[in-house]
Amino acid sequence: MFDADRPIFTKNQDQLGRSGFAKYLARCMLDHKNPESLVIGLYGGWGTGKTSIINLILEELHIAASNMFDEEKPIILNFSPWSYSGQNQLIYNFFRRLSSEIRRSAAYVEHAEKIIHLLELYVSFFTHLPVPKTLRPKQSMLASLIKPSVAQEAAYGWESGRDLTHIKAELNTLLSQQKHKIIIFIDNIARMEDQEIKQIFQIVKSMGDYMNTVYVLAIDKEHIIRAMNNLYDNDGENYLEKIVQLPFKIPEISKENVENILLDRLKQVVDMVPEDMWDKKYWCDIYYSTLKYFFHNCRDITHYVNTLSFSYPRVKELVNPIDFFAITAIHVFSPSVFIGIRDNKDVFTDLVNPVFAHDEKKLADDKIRCDEILNRTEHISREHLQQLLIFLFPRLRHIYKNDMPFYHSEELARRNRRVCSAEFFDAYFQLSVAADYMPKAEFHAILSLAHNPKEFTEAVLCLNKDERALYFLDQLDSNAINKIPTNYIKNVVNTLIDCADLFPEGVSSPLKVNTPMRVHRILHQLFRRFSHSTERFALLQDAAKNTTLSLYSLVHELNLQNEERLAAEDTLIPTDQHDFTAAQIEILQKCVVEKIVYWAKMKRLAEHPKLLEILYAWKNWGNERECRDFVGQMVQEDRGLIAFLCVALREPIHQTITKLTQTPAWEESLRVIEDFISVKILEPHAKMLFEDLAFETLREQEQLAILIFLNLVHANTIKIIPQTTPP
């Protein structure tokens, strides 16, 4: 499926009708009667098929040679200078390759040995390397006895008794007597450094302009002229005209041919698309209006189809195929625009505002951002790119075509996995290198929603789905927090408290705080925006009453507030430096206990990943008997016991999985369990779960929780309890 951007080699592969031109040029070279060296230039830009045409010419030359006498067959050298570098390397390897090709035909070339020797002598003037011994003329026994030093004299050109001009003249005399044409193809010239390009032209026009020789040069004219301008004071075009005697401009591939090849190559990818996901009308709207104008040559097609073939199978269950085809085209042909779209999700989707929002100031700001992204395009015309983005992202219609009515359903966009849906947007960028930050424009756009608590919470939750909530918190924990309007702070506090349990916890280290601590830092800075503790108390009390999604966030915040207050007492820090008074913290704790009891009654508490910390808050701040009764009821059920053991034995489970070690500190876990229920009560139930056939169906952590517990209590079981760590 993947194409390594290879050229074609035979006329059977020719889809562009160029084999006729190749046949004509091949015949013209063979029929050329003037013995003077001829230089033909094949002019074409990047990706126009110069190498393919050379291969077609080579095919025609070989076909023609098969019908010629041996002494008439052309000697062909296909030389790629890109394989070599440096003046001596280029010159040496060119003439070494030419000598090799002549030796292959030596049986049919008159005076072949002498021609090869003269050629080697000639090149030694430039390379300062001796003629290889195997290529020096063989002497008769008599000659060796009479003049034993002759062979040594012929090792270098200047030792042969002839100068450069005489050797070349003698070589040309012999070549002009041949019926063979020497046809030399030189490709990939534009890939060379400027000085190396100059060396190639010196070989063609000065060193190697032999009789009966034809050079065919594949040239990107604009690139070569720029290179020569650098060396000849902007006289590159005149220089090139002196080199090339017979220029041929490779015609651009017709739009029809480009389109036919593209659609033919795309069939392999379209075959992967589920039939019910391909909307032919939508494809036609996008392709014929915009996408077809992205492709100018076969190399464009190859790069695009290769990228699409690699990436689509990996995301096909997550994306709309037509949207992905279009986004991939932007990725291939205008990567800076692709990155701009990726980093400005709030502009292109309904992440912050619904598609039909009519906030004029917001639209004006979004237009500035969109214009900047569109202005990054180089390969694609801005007009076609803008039209494509309007198809893909309906929000842009309000920016660029606000006078045209249109229909858009956000629910339908989600159902069809469209790129304009905030829920599916990131799937289209999975194979790009993600930026480890949130663009400031997007951060401020989300923060601007804080005037509306519902919209702000939805935007933050959406960030959490995209795994970008931590980037948002990073930016919030900065000077930006001081710029939040005072009347927005209540909504920000409520949202953070309500969403915090859903955020990734992150990793805590001596140099980095985890997510709960980051939220605490942000809350503290927001609280300090108010000078009186009563105002701060009212903020947190309101958040505690209104939270529905999180519980641990409140427990964690009050634990830290209490720890900081107690630590401050030891250091004699004034009371007004604390966020809350001791009495206020106690009231807030009672409020949180009420919330915990509510979660317990609604059967939401048992599955909370921070169950243990919440139970300790209930036990310490509320009615201990109620807390122990809850645990007693919870562990009567299989799922309840497993959940309780998983949180109570969290550290031993982690050490078993990561370090494969057991420490005496594990015994402390039994004391943790005893804080809420006797291990003797749990032991029979845990043994039953272990001995049950369904034990093998439990997740690894759940199995470990039961095994570690039974090991710690030294339970006697019918089954042998396997070691959870090496002995």
User: Does residue 464 or residue 710 have the better pLDDT?
Assistant: 710
Whether residue 193 is predicted with pLDDT greater than 60 in this model: the reply is yes
Within-domain flag for 421? yes
Within-domain flag for 39? no
Whether residue 536 is predicted with pLDDT greater than 90 in this model: the reply is yes
Describe the chain by its helix, strand, coil percentages, rounded to 5.
65, 5, 30
Per residue in 302-328, pLDDT (tens digit) is 899 999 999 999 899 999 999 999 999
Domain match, 262 and 243 both: no
Residue 238 carries which DSSP code? H
User: Does residue 563 or residue 570 have the better pLDDT?
Assistant: 563
Q: Of all helices (H) and strands (E), which one includes residue 79?
A: strand 75-79
CA distance 294 to 329: 8
Contacts 24+ apart (CB under 8 A), 567-575: none
Tell me the one-letter amino acid at 314.
Answer: R
Helix, strand or coil, per DSSP, at residue 185:
strand
Which of 224, 249, 274 is at the close of a domain?
249
Domain match, 242 and 263 both: no
Domain match, 229 and 276 both: no
* pLDDT-based confidence at residue 152 (cuts at 50, 70, 90): very low
Within-domain flag for 658? yes
Per residue in 370-422, pLDDT (tens digit) is 998 999 888 899 999 999 999 999 888 888 887 666 667 788 888 999 999 98
Tell me the one-letter amino acid at 162.
Answer: R
Domain match, 104 and 239 both: yes
Here the tokens at position 307 are 């990228």
Domain match, 318 and 420 both: yes
Whether residue 2 is predicted with pLDDT greater than 50 in this model: the reply is no
Within-domain flag for 459? no
Which of 249, 280, 308 is at the close of a domain?
249
Whether residue 3 is predicted with pLDDT greater than 60 in this model: the reply is no
Domain match, 174 and 210 both: yes
Domain match, 347 and 223 both: no
Note the pLDDT of residue 156.
Answer: 66
Residues 616-626 have a mean pLDDT of 97
Residue 498 and residue 547 in contact, taking contact as beta carbons nearer than 8 Å: yes
Domain match, 334 and 197 both: no
Whether residue 63 is predicted with pLDDT greater than 90 in this model: the reply is yes
Within-domain flag for 328? yes
Here the tokens at position 266 are 């795309």
Residue 671 is part of which domain span? 635-712
Which of 435, 455, 479 is at the close of a domain?
435
Domain match, 209 and 277 both: no
Whether residue 150 is predicted with pLDDT greater than 50 in this model: the reply is no
Within-domain flag for 62? no
Residue 585 CB contacts under 8 Å (≥ 6 apart), including other chains: 558, 561, 562, 565
Domain match, 258 and 241 both: no
Per residue in 478-503, pLDDT (tens digit) is 888 999 999 999 999 999 999 999 99
* pLDDT-based confidence at residue 13 (cuts at 50, 70, 90): confident
Domain match, 185 and 320 both: no
How many domains in the chain? 3
Per residue in 204-251, pLDDT (tens digit) is 998 889 999 999 999 999 999 999 998 887 788 898 999 999 999 987
Domain match, 196 and 317 both: no
The pLDDT > 90 percentage for the chain reads 50
Residue 590 CB contacts under 8 Å (≥ 6 apart), including other chains: 621, 622
b/e string for 193-208 if b means 16 or more Cβ within 10 A? eeebbbbbbbbbbebb
Contacts 24+ apart (CB under 8 A), 584-588: 584/533, 584/537, 585/558, 585/561, 587/537, 587/541, 588/537, 588/540, 588/541, 588/544, 588/554, 588/558
The pLDDT > 70 percentage for the chain reads 89
Residue 208 and residue 193 in contact, taking contact as beta carbons nearer than 8 Å: no
**Helices and strands, counts by H and E, the chain:** 35, 5
Tell me the one-letter amino acid at 713.
Answer: V
Tell me the one-letter amino acid at 10.
Answer: T
Residue 217 and residue 40 in contact, taking contact as beta carbons nearer than 8 Å: yes
Within-domain flag for 409? yes
Within-domain flag for 723? no
CA distance 438 to 455: 19
